[in-house]
Structure 1
Amino acid sequence: MLRNPVFFTLFILALACTGCASATGPWVKLGGQRYSVEVARTEAERDRGLMFRDELPAGHGMLFIHEQEGPLAYWMKNTRIPLDILFFDHDKRLVSQQRDVPPCDLGDACPPYPSDAPAIYVLELNAGEAERLRLENGATIEFAPDIQPAP
């Protein structure tokens, strides 16, 4: 006999969302795939990025939001996991890709990975995601409603 149908309904909803990290918190959608993201808006957050991490869970990434569109270059200083670095313009169109960028433990000697066109958003995903999604320049990214776009 069911004593509390409201509790039961909430319990079933919670079970349905277990393991779907993109159900709550910030997310982006790219190539038909939804990714839970950490958002790096400040200079300090962008500078730290994914440094010193041993893994990036599947279905997760980091979204970097810059103040203005322009030439960007990222590096892998103190980054321990290979990444795809995807650059987007103000219209949220993919303008450049750096795929399968290897980790770097050379400190300031790590090479830069530049965008081929001005960008304002950068999405870092586990290496191989861009290939898996068959991403081509011109693809668009969608942000969760709680992610404020660049000014």
Structure 2
Amino acid sequence: MFERLGSALLLLLLAGQASAENLAQIHLPRALLHIRQQPIEAQLATTPKQRNIGLMHRTQMPQNEGMLFIYTDDAERCFWMRDTPLPLSAAFIDKTGVIVKLVSMQPFSDKSHCSEQPVRYVLEMQQGWFKKHEITTGERVNGIP
């Protein structure tokens, strides 16, 4: 794990994107999630500042890693990709851990992708990850803290 953190730090430094906020995002707490038998190492974005930064400025992310945005209430959530060079897919997840909507998002886009119903969590993964693992709406994400 430390090797990946070091690699991410080096990439940020080389890309000239190494602000204090970006560096703090690398050291977010993590949780091991599962959808069916598929493991996901998720960084946990729990504060408003962490959620606002999200995966901005990241140029790569390992295949089974993602970011879980955790909210304290249920509400319609909207995500966009400003300042995010990675193509991502997002799963909007209700308070019981069930995926209610999946979307694909394009790098650097200001297009809003909304849950269209109240959700408590959003899981961002590399674009195509959910499709590759045949994960669809109605499936449960296990291990959410």
TM-score by length of 1: 0.73
Cα deviation, 1:61-102, whole Å, max 9, x if unaligned, reads 000001101111001010000001100000000011102x11
Report what 1:63 is aligned to.
Answer: 68
Report what 1:49 is aligned to.
Answer: 54
Distance in 1 (CA, whole Å) between partners of 2:84 and 2:63 is 17
Structure (1 or 2) with the larger CA radius of gyration:
1
Distance in 1 (CA, whole Å) between partners of 2:125 and 2:33 is 11
Instruction: Please state how far the C-alpha of 1:116 moved relative to its aligned partner.
Output: 2.8
Distance in 2 (CA, whole Å) between partners of 1:31 and 1:80 is 29
Contact 1:40 1:49 in 2 (8 A): yes
User: Per the alignment, in what secondary structure is the counterpart of residue 26 of structure 1?
Assistant: strand
Report what 1:121 is aligned to.
Answer: 121
Given the superposition, is the C-alpha separation of residues 111 and 76 from structure 1 closer, same or farther in structure 2, using an over 3 Å criterion? same
- Please tell me the root mean square deviation across aligned C-alpha atoms, in Å: 1.8
Does residue 73 in structure 1 map to residue 78 in structure 2?
Answer: yes
Aligned residues: 118
- Stretches (4+) displaced over 2 A: none
Report what 1:13 is aligned to.
Answer: none
Does residue 134 in structure 1 map to residue 144 in structure 2?
Answer: no
Instruction: Please state how far the C-alpha of 1:133 moved relative to its aligned partner.
Output: 1.6
User: Per the alignment, in what secondary structure is the counterpart of residue 57 of structure 1?
Assistant: coil
TM-score by length of 2: 0.76
Distance in 2 (CA, whole Å) between partners of 1:48 and 1:93 is 25
Report what 1:96 is aligned to.
Answer: 101
Report what 2:88 is aligned to.
Answer: 83
Instruction: Please state how far the C-alpha of 1:56 moved relative to its aligned partner.
Output: 1.0
Distance in 2 (CA, whole Å) between partners of 1:142 and 1:39 is 14
Q: Percent identity?
A: 27
Distance in 1 (CA, whole Å) between partners of 2:33 and 2:46 is 15
